[in-house]
Amino acid sequence: METDMTKGKPSSILLRFLVPIFFGNLFQQFYNVVDTVIVGRVVGAGALAAVGSTGTIMFLLSGISQGMSTGFTVLTAQHYGAKNEKGVRRSVANALLLSLLLTAGFTAAGALLMGPLLRLMNTPDDIYRDAYTYIMIITVGLIAMIMYNMSAALLRAIGNSKTPLYFLIFAVVSNIFLDLLLTMGIRMGVAGAALATVLSQAMAAVLCFVYIYRKAKVLRPRRGEWRLSAEMTRAQLKISIPMTLQFAITSSGTMIMQAAVNLFGSTAVAAYTAANKLVSLLVQEMPSMGSAISTYCGQNYGSRQLDRVKSGVKAAIRIDTVYAVGAAVLCVVLLPLTLGLFFSGNEDIGVLMPWAKTYVNIAVCFFIPLSYIFVFRNAMQGCGYGMLPMFGGIVEFAARGVTAFLSMHAMSYVAACFCDPAAWLAAGIFTGICYRFVVKDMEKTFHMDPSGGEEDADRRSRNA
């Protein structure tokens, strides 16, 4: 089920590779939504607000996990594209050992900082205890999240995007069952929802690694290769640290936005949480395209085919533009139909709807620049350029932070809802400019004629 992306029509390759990742991300979001629905309907709106208030911290933890796993496996994709199997195996061993060491540090730091962080985010007193319980269980189980993302990223690096999807579907079904068992049956409340998430991720990780051991032999390091290499560590950290920092910076910006929303009380937080879940569900094609273009660019960069990198990015832009428009329309249409799913019959949807509708109506207008961020950023990362995407995260953080500060100063919920769109627009423009700079830099590196055809580029890259 491996895919060589150095040959064939870019748009067709991207779509075939994208679809399993897209459905995987949908299922990932789906079981996050299931958490929210079950907590909201079974435990109550207060518990939903508590879980929702930790959403940006969850985004931070998930971003660290994705940034680290994607960064470590860029080198794997490049070695795979260059047909260097020994390099592939060594990069896998090094990535897994580094991941275990870093996970221990992230878990310890998270356990110490979660309480002060929730207070810093203006978490309402009536939901603080549940919020703390939920996020602490997620933090302690961080290794499950990181190991699943790492195993899935390794498979995607060699062009296999279907297998992680199958295991994720199994995890989603398991998560739903565990959610119902632990919240309705054992009545563990938000702690049960958090524990269900950790256990389901752990099962998906185990299944992925079993598959790698039995089927994906190119990803299975040999006995003498299980050691940390200084050279490999430097190369992987050079890519992964900027990517992880970029996710962390972006997540910090969303925390500031959450702090702004929290000022308007638990009703606003609950409505915003439900609306944000719908938006997150419908934009999952965008990070999926990001994963696809990262692997595509990594393999083609490894085989020194810059023209294929550029044509792949253009194809991704066309696909994402069409998708963003469709997702925006669907989001507006579905909001009134889905909001009631998150709450029991005791909650007044009429009170919640204005808060939710305000956020959705503003956010959908900026789905196109949001989609471009993932294409440009992940294309650069796939080619080994980590610093510029990180600066894109700083731009995103600054735009979101300034808007959040203005909203808190003016006590304007509308301004708070503009935090995300402001960040998407600023980062979309910035990463687009950076991508053009990266292309020119690669043209110099490969000594390629920018006006040459793809056939000439293939010939030159084979002779390089």
Q: pLDDT value at position 319?
A: 94
**Residue whose structure tokens are 């499950």:** 144
| Per-residue pLDDT tens digits for 430-440 | 999 999 999 98
In terms of Cα–Cα distance, which of 172, 463, 416, 147 is closest to 272?
A: 416
Give the model's pLDDT for residue 462: 35
Tens digit of each residue's pLDDT (9 = 90 or more) over 115-163: 888 888 777 777 788 888 888 998 898 999 899 888 888 888 888 878 8
Report helix angle 125-140 to 85-120, nearest 10.
160
> What pLDDT score was predicted for residue 271?
83
CA atoms within 13 A on the CB side of 307: 18
pLDDT score, position 346: 62
Q: What is the pLDDT of residue 57?
A: 79
- How are the residues of the chain apportioned to helix, strand and coil, as percentages rounded to the nearest 5? 85, 0, 15
Task: Supply the pLDDT for residue 370.
Answer: 93
The Cβ of residue 410 has, within 10 Å, a number of other Cβ atoms equal to 11
Q: Which two three-digit tokens encode residue 42? A: 């079974």
Find all residues with CB under 8 Å of 393, minimum gap 6, and list them: 245, 246, 247, 248, 249, 250, 427
Supply the pTM of this predicted model. Answer: 0.68
Collapsing DSSP to helix, strand or coil, 303 comes out as coil
- CA pair distance 169, 301, nearest whole angstrom: 32
Q: How far apart are CA 12 and CA 440, in angstroms?
A: 26
**Cα 40 to Cα 172: distance, rounded to the nearest angstrom:** 18
Positions in the chain short of pLDDT 50: 448-464
